[in-house]
Structure 1
């Protein structure tokens, strides 16, 4: 059959008159196109497609061989496998449906059981509801009762103190010990916590507790106040180990500023009497106490008035230091505890504050004030004794030394007790009294020596009254320098001393100066000023006055230089030539008229030249002799040299005019005419003059 098929295919009948040869050509052409299309489709297929890759992997996994039979049966095999798989799936779903039916039956049974349980539960709830409500109410009532019991117990433990504690707090028979302070602290806390009770709607309980706690606190503070008063009567401040209970009691009592201040007042009064008696005993040796004084009384061994006042001030200073140290241990050793207590007291007692003023307690300031109050009696006795010493002596130096001593202790007490201490007022008054006595004594002394202000000494030295005054001033300056070491404006402070102890005597010297002739007046003035300057120069606080004296000395020295200069010119005869040349200018016509002047006539000029030659050998010695009474040899030399220098300048001026006149004469004369020049008649040169006067 195959053979016939191929034969038939190879010899087909002709169509439409086409020859067999043309048909074979057409068939070959169509086969070639089909093959080309097949190859193109194969080549154009994308083997990277996932479906194609999965299909190829599946074929590879099944182990198919690429044969003609396999290619022919592959489609049928695949469809067969799909049908078998579908059948297995249908079988499995049948089993699942069977199981679902059984589950539905079980669920329906469970639903029936649940409905029955709900019916039984509803019936049980109806029967037990009243019992549960009653039980809940009873439990709430029990909880409320327990809470009230806890509140009551807490209230009793916090706001109520026992009878024993109340006795410890208020009974004067019980001691003030640690238990008292602990109970007092608890009572203060109860009093403070009453604010919580007052903040509730029912304030009755808070008011009752507050009233009760206030009474107990007041009784406790009264007990503490009386106990401190008793302790103060036997308190020994000399003991370095002061009772710690007293310090603590004061710190606690400070919460009641009124009671605290009352304690301080009584304490200050007691200490004032004790210190006054001690000071009086130190002065006189007599005391109301039975014990004897260990040291000699001040009045018995201090015979010098200054030492007497110094010993009294030293005792007061020592007592003040001891008192302050003892009270500092008593009041300040607890830091700011007293300050905080007083602030708390002022907050609880606002009526104690000044209107519009917020008081801040300063421990050191209060301590200084207390020490000042303790010294009130001592200060009164010190003022009486010191004023008695000041007024009973007429020595101005003594009064000033006492004033300086008091000023020194005033600055010391200012550092010790503060600038606002009441004790400083005592020192200010005593210092003022001593200074008034000093000024009065100085004025009396000036009035007593006024009779000596009439005639200056013959040797022009400082008069005796000035020497005496300078000795006194030296003592005053030394006292001022050693005593007032802390004064800032020291120069102005010493001016009052100078105005009393120096100025009146310098004024007397000035009156004597006005009655002396020149140069004795300037010599006398310089000698007096040099003596005063020698006393004041070592002290820096007198620099201004020393500078004023230097300026005055320079003025008098300038007048002495002028006097010595005139002596040079008049004694040498040069003054005649200088007076003649006063109207001569530098013009040739004026210079040419010099030879025609009377002073430059040949005979007169020769006479002046001879006079100059006679003067020059002893010129310096003769001139210095005029002011030999100056106390400063250096000033004598300096003044004479300065006057000689001025004389040399005058001589150079005369010489220049003479040379200028001779030059003009030489120009006007003919060569054959010979004439003596002014230089020939006055041959001295300025160089020779300077050599001779050097």
Structure 2
């Protein structure tokens, strides 16, 4: 539309090129500027401007054509339409004003009616107010009465017990059953909840209920205590299915620690008597009512002391295991419950608590203590019989075996009842008595042997007293090895045994050793030490002592090697040559002096060579004969070979000196007539010596 508008404006309207509205010639320049300004203004206008865009849309909606007539009338048409629209709006607002007048009239009528209703209501309120106040007061009183009734019912049901419940709780005629425990639980709750009543202003009611519940609880616990006492008398511990009511009763009775401990004391005393009677029956084979049992009594084997003591210990162990298994149900299965009950009892009776902070209740520890107390009578009989056995026998080996057997059961009981059990004191005492008896018997035996010491055997073998001691030591070591001792203590504990059973006899052998000459003394010492080491070798707990003996044997072997080496050098005649060469160095002057030495003069050297030739063929056999009394044949061979090796080294030294002296002498006398050298007079070579002595 804008484009057509500008196109129509640019078409000329006259033939002479001027528009009908063209100004005069004088005003043409100003008109051109005005037109240019308008065109510039139109072209600078943006279609994005909302007013221009709305105006163009309005013109487009009216389907207005761009001509002179339309441009003249468009303003008038638009103004006319605006005036018409304003007239319609005025008429509409007149209708609205009429409606508002009618609404105001209705609101005035409603306000009048409301004022009338308020006056009527005020009059009615004045007439009904006293009645409402009285009704509210009655309702409040009714609610208070209902609340008090509920409180009374709740108090009666919670804090008061019936006559039947009191009878169940305190009467000894009534049984201890589930109903008893339920009633007891209820009364305990009443006793605990009395704290609420004591916290009110009027404490009289709380004190009365507290006193009544305390009396009922005390009577109930006394009834429960007496019932448990009666049940314990007829309780069969051999039956693994112990009555569940007893376990529950013990758990409940634990809330009174004094009664609980008293009950345990009486039970332990009863069990001690029962186990003592059972042990006496097992020993003798007869019961207190003169009835015999079918199994053989333990005293039937009294002639065998070790078995006799072992059977008694085995019976005690078996009885302990059975007793522990039977009582374990009472303490371990309900251990936490009993602990909580005792804790509650100590809180209610704080004067029973000790000064030290210690654990309230340990089920396992209590079980071990109770079993230990049950075994007190058995332990007393066992101690008497064992000490009788020890005192009636003088055999040291038997005493030590009994000590080891007691130590074995001591470790077993320690694992079964704990290291703090009182029964372990018995085993420690018995073990100490057995060891004292063993040491006393051994010292008596050593004293008797020392009085009989005379001389070493002719064949230099270990003496009889050492053989007997080693035989005894093997038995003791085997007995100790079968006992259960901790790894850290095995070596240390057996050292005392070695000190009693081996060291005195080795000391006796050492005295005999001092009275012998070499090599007999060394052979005798080695034979004795080898026998002792062989007795100790199978056992790991004697490794240290066996190692010490090995070192001592090595020292004696070294002295035998020195003796054999001296035998080789002296018998072969080489000793004179070695002594003569001891002061000769490797210098030329010193080597030249060798022919002038007395042993290297021709006659002496020829004699030494002949002596060597006579010695070599039977040298090894003769040397072996010197130490043939050694019991270890391989050791004889090794000692002789080592001495022969050292002899060969000595011969190589003599040979090297002779060859060096001959070389020097041959160099100086090369122009003279040669004379026989040292090598010619002493022709043996080190290779030949090694072959002959191999």
Task: Write out aligned runs for 1:391-540 (5 A).
Answer: 391-486=391-486, 488-540=488-540
Alpha-carbon shift at residue 115 of structure 1 (Å): 2.4
Task: Write out aligned runs for 1:36-115 (5 A).
Answer: 37-38=34-35, 40-42=37-39, 44-45=41-42, 46=45, 48=47, 49-66=49-66, 68-115=68-115
Indicate whether 1:264 and 2:264 are aligned.
yes
Structure 1 residues 627 and 79, CA, compared in 2 at 3 Å: closer, same or farther?
A: closer
C-alpha distance in 2, partners of 1:644/1:464? 34
| 2:3 equivalent in structure 1 | none
Alpha-carbon shift at residue 542 of structure 1 (Å): 0.7
Structure 1 residues 534 and 59, CA, compared in 2 at 3 Å: closer, same or farther?
A: closer
| 1:151 equivalent in structure 2 | 151
Residue 488 of structure 2 aligns to a residue whose secondary structure is coil
State which drifts further: 448-457 or 567-576. 448-457
C-alpha distance in 2, partners of 1:200/1:151? 15
Structure 1 residues 104 and 565, CA, compared in 2 at 3 Å: closer, same or farther?
A: same
C-alpha distance in 1, partners of 2:516/2:534? 24
C-alpha distance in 2, partners of 1:212/1:222? 16
State which drifts further: 397-406 or 236-245. 236-245
State which drifts further: 622-631 or 242-251. 242-251
Selected match of 1:28 from 16, 25, 30? 25
| 1:199 equivalent in structure 2 | 199
Residue 312 of structure 1 aligns to a residue whose secondary structure is helix
Alpha-carbon shift at residue 469 of structure 1 (Å): 1.0
Total equivalences in the alignment = 672
Alignment deviations for residues 451-479 of structure 1 (CA, whole Å, 9 cap, x no partner): 33121111111111111111111111111
RMSD of aligned Cα (Å): 2.0
Contact 1:250 1:331 in 2 (8 A): no
State which drifts further: 649-658 or 204-213. 204-213
Alpha-carbon shift at residue 163 of structure 1 (Å): 1.0
Alpha-carbon shift at residue 574 of structure 1 (Å): 0.6
Indicate whether 1:558 and 2:567 are aligned.
no
Alignment deviations for residues 411-454 of structure 1 (CA, whole Å, 9 cap, x no partner): 11111111110001111111111111111111111112223312
TM-score (norm 1): 0.93
Residue 471 of structure 1 aligns to a residue whose secondary structure is helix
C-alpha distance in 2, partners of 1:98/1:32? 63
Alignment deviations for residues 108-167 of structure 1 (CA, whole Å, 9 cap, x no partner): 222222223222323333333333222222222222221221111111111111111111
| 1:137 equivalent in structure 2 | 137
Which ranges of structure 1 fall in alignment gaps of 5 or more residues?
Answer: 1-24
State which drifts further: 371-380 or 69-78. 69-78
| 1:639 equivalent in structure 2 | 639
| 1:22 equivalent in structure 2 | none
Structure 1 residues 591 and 126, CA, compared in 2 at 3 Å: closer, same or farther?
A: same
Structure 1 residues 138 and 625, CA, compared in 2 at 3 Å: closer, same or farther?
A: same
Contact 1:452 1:465 in 2 (8 A): no
Contact 2:301 2:307 in 1 (8 A): no
C-alpha distance in 2, partners of 1:515/1:84? 164
| 2:626 equivalent in structure 1 | 626
Alpha-carbon shift at residue 558 of structure 1 (Å): 0.7
C-alpha distance in 1, partners of 2:380/2:23? 163
Contact 1:592 1:664 in 2 (8 A): yes
Contact 2:23 2:31 in 1 (8 A): no
C-alpha distance in 2, partners of 1:162/1:423? 51
Alignment deviations for residues 203-259 of structure 1 (CA, whole Å, 9 cap, x no partner): 222222111111111111000000000001111111122111111111111111110
Alignment deviations for residues 275-318 of structure 1 (CA, whole Å, 9 cap, x no partner): 00110011111211465423111112443111111111111111
State which drifts further: 664-673 or 500-509. 664-673
C-alpha distance in 2, partners of 1:447/1:329? 57
Task: Write out aligned runs for 1:212-361 (5 A).
Answer: 212-289=212-289, 292-361=292-361
C-alpha distance in 1, partners of 2:588/2:75? 161
C-alpha distance in 1, partners of 2:354/2:213? 28
Structure 1 residues 35 and 688, CA, compared in 2 at 3 Å: closer, same or farther?
A: same
Alpha-carbon shift at residue 353 of structure 1 (Å): 1.1
| 1:21 equivalent in structure 2 | none
Alpha-carbon shift at residue 33 of structure 1 (Å): 4.7
Alpha-carbon shift at residue 35 of structure 1 (Å): 5.7
C-alpha distance in 2, partners of 1:500/1:226? 59
Residue 80 of structure 1 aligns to a residue whose secondary structure is helix
| 1:389 equivalent in structure 2 | 389
Alignment deviations for residues 54-109 of structure 1 (CA, whole Å, 9 cap, x no partner): 33433443444555544443333333333333333333333333333333332222
TM-score (norm 2): 0.93
Alpha-carbon shift at residue 31 of structure 1 (Å): 4.5
